[in-house]
Amino acid sequence: MIQIENLAKRYGAFTAVDDITFTARPGRVTGFLGPNGAGKSTAMRMMCGLTPATSGTAHILGRPYRSLPNPTTHVGVMLDAGAQHAGRTGREVLGLAAILVGAGRGQVDSVLDRIGLTSREAERRVGNYSLGMRQRLGLGAALIGDPSVLILDEPANGLDPGGIHWMRELLRSYAQEGGTVLLSSHLLSEVEQVADDLVLIGRGRIVAQGTKEELLSSAGVVVDATDREALHAALHRAGFSPVARPRGGFAAQAGTAQIGELALAEGLVITNLSSSGGGLEEMFLTLTADDAREVAA
């Protein structure tokens, strides 16, 4: 578990992280999202003891990162996959990481298999790796101590579609086994598929947090039926504030499950039911529009 309480970081008059509080729970993947410059990386560095906090606390498994005994056996961290010695081979990188955590040589082979690097690729020097291969190696170094918590900053950067699918399945299985995952990524469609909980940050402040279902349902739905008049009346009676759309159907302030239950109770045949906000990407752009530095500039 990761518990962040009133965490802040100020550099003189500039506030990079402004009093954020949230919890990443075991058995779940938490998406930590925000525009460039929002404070995500600074917050993650404070969690890992790399940047001292101005105020507030960041506890992992109930303790500050630096207070954990042999912390890499409890917390796997990947903040910059490019920060690897270009002259070493992939196997050497993982071998040194294994020595630091007290793991045996067998763990290196196990992790290489888990991250999808072949024995031939493992013998190549990191300077000859593609960006995607470096990402896999960085994740392998995070996994070498068999930790119960993962803190990952842009782990899918540079991966091809097959690699992104592999990453998604790995994080899902890790969480299903009881692990805690905190994931920062700009690939919102992938975060939408893998995350259970979401924390959105803009200019250092949290602008929204909750389960993925709660946040996406708050954007409402678009719904249509064979009998539109009956649908409109049913939506109105249920208090879902239906608004007719030019292309047909209605926008309604309800979740998909609520609409399904309503349709069953009213005997309606639904022909279309989707998120009115266009999913996580649309919600992200709406909530962080005022905080995106590119827009503000």
Output the tens digit of pLDDT for each of the chain's 297 residues: 999 999 999 999 999 999 999 999 999 999 999 888 899 999 999 999 999 999 999 999 999 999 999 999 999 999 987 788 899 999 999 999 999 888 877 899 999 999 999 999 999 999 999 989 999 999 999 999 999 999 999 888 888 888 899 999 999 999 999 999 999 988 788 888 899 999 999 889 998 899 988 787 666 788 999 999 999 999 999 998 888 877 788 888 888 889 999 999 999 999 998 765 556 776 677 666 665 555 444
Give the orientation angle of helix 161-176 with respect to helix 131-143, to 10 degrees. Answer: 10
The answer for residues whose C-beta is within 8 angstroms of residue 197's C-beta and 6 or more apart is: 24, 25, 28, 29, 30, 31, 209, 210, 211, 212
User: Is there a contact between 8 and 18 (Cβ–Cβ < 8 Å)?
Assistant: yes
- The reported pLDDT for the residue numbered 282 is 66
Confidence at residue 182, expressed as pLDDT on a 0 to 100 scale: 97
Helix (H, G, I), strand (E, B) or coil at 77: strand
CA 151 distance to own-chain centroid: 10
Dist. CA 57–CA 240, nearest whole Å: 41
Prediction pTM value: 0.78
Q: How far apart are CA 30 and CA 197, in angstroms?
A: 5
Structure tokens at 237: 């009676």
Asked if 28 and 198 count as a contact pair (C-beta separation under 8 A), the reply is: no
What pLDDT, on a 0 to 100 scale, did the predictor assign at position 296? 42
Going edge to edge, which strands form the sheet with 2-11? 14-24, 2-11, 55-60
Residue type, 270: I
Sign of CA dihedral 115, 120, 123, 124: negative
Fold entry, domain 2-209: Rossmann fold (3.40.50)
Of all helices (H) and strands (E), which one includes residue 284?
helix 280-288
pLDDT at 295: 44
Nearest CA to 101 out of 63, 71, 136, 135 is that of: 71
Is 101 in contact with 144 (CB distance < 8 Å)? yes
Intervals of CATH 3.40.50.300 along the chain: 2-209
Distance CA 97, CA 139 (A): 12
